[in-house]
Structure 1
């Protein structure tokens, strides 16, 4: 048995697991995946970084853009979540399944 300090060891994920995770996210949250891909592929994400030389106006513009992206992602999540709920897939069908529950604040709680 080997002990690994997770604070020092880099997190590694096998490519096959990453591909499986990505496929699962596209299947369960297709709209969220699409929005995230557009954000990551676009130039918007790098332009949101704050620097010391930013003027107050530029900071406000960046904050507004961030809020817009957050709203688009939230809307995509809500649509995916509604579709998932309508699909009739129940987390109670198996004793080992995990369910996802959203509270009123939009936060996600995972139930076992």
Structure 2
């Protein structure tokens, strides 16, 4: 990962390369598309590490929830330039997808 990346998503598949984003809004839009209107749980983490980087970083894990509120999948682990889930929560609120976009992804 390039040292100038400030926002990234490490996907659930460990073989997949991390996705870099120009800003937190772009990362939030990606999470919104992946969640497709489903509920999510965000958990602050302190052990996020990129391949080839010895530093541990703080980030946020984003889990999909089933209708009962149990974890049903992992969207990924977000690197937010040292910010936590409050920053991601605000970005998600500012970057909600129109209802037809979320419904189209869920179908």
Q: What is the TM-score with the length of structure 1 in the denominator?
A: 0.25
More strand per residue: 2
More helix per residue: 1
* Rg larger for: 1
